[in-house]
Amino acid sequence: MRSSTTAENGRLLRLLLIWRHALPTGPERVVTATMIPATYIQPKATRATTDVQVIRLWLHGKSAQTIRAYSKDVREFFRFVGCTLAQVRLEDVQGFADELDELATSSQARRLAAVKSLLSFANKIGYIPFNAGAPVELPKPENKLSERILSESAVQSIIHAATS
């Protein structure tokens, strides 16, 4: 009987903490009796308390070249938004995507993919409550394969030139 009471107390404590953080502050504060089930609480998978710690966890195990590229992409993103991971909103990610317009489509896609990956990772480990990058779609790279395919006559002339 005691273990179910302890479990119930833990559930209620989690509900109260969610309820307390969900209420607005100031004169518009309205108290409601809405209970949020404890099943909606996502446990934190890390003790990370700073963006730098989360970025280190995110980059862990990646190749040196990937770490260099992703670090550069994320630095540019943070310079652009000027806020922490927890403060990033959809408008920030969309604005960053718009700033990349002068780059090649493949470069835009890689940089946005890095930012989206970081936001997704931070959300999965419970560091941020939502992934602001999820709704942002990556630009579709142009298909330039047809430009690199040689015609049959071009292949024949290359072969003829090589054998002469």
Tens-digit pLDDT profile for the chain (164 aa)?
A: 444 455 555 555 554 444 444 444 554 444 444 444 444 455 577 788 999 999 999 999 999 999 999 999 999 999 999 999 999 999 999 999 999 999 999 999 999 999 999 999 999 999 999 999 999 999 987 777 777 788 888 888 889 888 87
Name residue, tokens 């909103």: 89
* pLDDT at 86 (0 to 100): 94
Exposed/middle/buried for residue 13 (C-beta within 10 Å: 0-12, 13-18, 19+): exposed
Residue of 50, 48, 42 whose CA lies nearest to 84: 50
Range list for CATH 1.10.150.130 in the chain: 51-143
* pLDDT at 35 (0 to 100): 47
* pLDDT at 36 (0 to 100): 45
Token couple for 100: 């990349």
51-143: what CATH class? mainly alpha
